[in-house]
Structure 1
Amino acid sequence: MKKYILASFLFLVFILSGCGDPVQDDLLDYVNEKMPSLGKEETKILEKYEDVTGPNYTDDQTLYDALKVEIIPAYNQYIEDLESVKLETDELRKIHEDYIEAANIQASAFLTIITALENQDSGLINEANEKLNTARKMMRDYQNAVEKLAKEHDVKLEKNKKSEEL
């Protein structure tokens, strides 16, 4: 009897999954399988950046070396990894493309900081900060768009503290 119940249940799940919402399926795969490891990767990179900026800033050379040797190469790889994410639905693909654009703006800001340090140009530092602010806003917009899409397709998202900070 247990085998029959299990077999009936599996058949029912198969039928229901065949009638599913493609955006819902794509979104579930995206938030549960594709993005968690990428989110961890980005967090590690941004923590390295925070280690040499703001209250942790010590000197230009330390910042320059960290950007040149660690942060920029790692962030460029991160962007490549983001670009390799394959999505099935146009709705989610558009949101993900917006996130890639934000990541590219942030990468551009890092490069602008390098140039500013090389030329000792405070105007370029201001430009880099504007790019960082733009990227942060776009990343918040991305999070809001994912949440809206999830709501529209009955996907419940659980937030963790780190994702709310980014």
Structure 2
Amino acid sequence: MKKLIFVPLFLFAILLTGCSNDPVQDDLLNYINKEIDVVADLENKAVSKYESVTGVNYTNDQTLYDALLGEILPTYQDFLKKLEAISIETDEVKKIHEKYIEAANLQYDAFVKILSALQKQDITIIEEANGMLADARKMFRDYQEDIKKLAKEHDVELKKNKENAA
């Protein structure tokens, strides 16, 4: 089986650098500090489990299959449901949040494709899934850059969480 590579999304903590009546600033602060914080544990749980059975931790197809079916996919489905239910007030933050949803859905689809590849024992499907994971990683990076840019435009200081700093 080919090695699957995944880099999890790191989270941000936000500190307000000044008080204002900026609705985008308020929405961004709520989005990162409250809304995303609620779903982050689910994403981290699914991704951590995935990483525990892939790459250098890979032992065999059955272990990966069982983890995908029993924990990774159900946890990630719950994460996606909660991610899509997040309420956002401003168009600027909504636009960025949609990128996160798109990346997360692509990553989920890649996990499903890996499950299918294991069932069929098809290396071609694994290669497709690896491409999807690479695309999702790029989309997560783009999302992070958009968050940073919007934060800068609206006087919000971002700091990496100590546990997710990379």
- TM-score, structure 2 as length reference: 0.85
Gaps of 5+ in 2: 1-18
Q: State whether residues 25 and 155 of structure 2, in contact with CA within 8 Å, keep that contact through their aligned partners in structure 1.
A: yes
1:25-40 correspondence runs (5 A): 25-40=26-41
Structure 1 residue 34, shift from structure 2 partner: 1.0
Matched, 1:156 2:157: yes
Q: Secondary structure at the match of 1:37?
A: helix
- The number of equivalent residue pairs is 149
Equivalent residue, structure 2, for 1:73: 74
Quick one: distance in 1 between partners of 2:144 and 2:29? 15
Letter in 1 for 2:97: H
Note the aligned Cα RMSD (angstroms).
Answer: 1.5
Q: State whether residues 42 and 78 of structure 2, in contact with CA within 8 Å, keep that contact through their aligned partners in structure 1.
A: no
Quick one: distance in 1 between partners of 2:88 and 2:164? 21
Q: Secondary structure at the match of 1:158?
A: strand
- TM-score, structure 1 as length reference: 0.85
Quick one: distance in 1 between partners of 2:135 and 2:31? 24
Larger RCO (CA under 8 A, 6+ residues apart): 2
Deviations along 1:127-162, one digit per CA (max 9) or x if unpaired, are 000000010110011011001000000011111245
1:79-90 correspondence runs (5 A): 79-90=80-91
Q: Between the two proteins, what is the percent identity of the paired residues?
A: 55
Structure exhibiting the larger radius of gyration computed from Cα positions:
1
Equivalent residue, structure 2, for 1:22: 23
Gaps of 5+ in 1: 1-16
Q: Which has the higher helix share?
A: 1
Equivalent residue, structure 2, for 1:122: 123
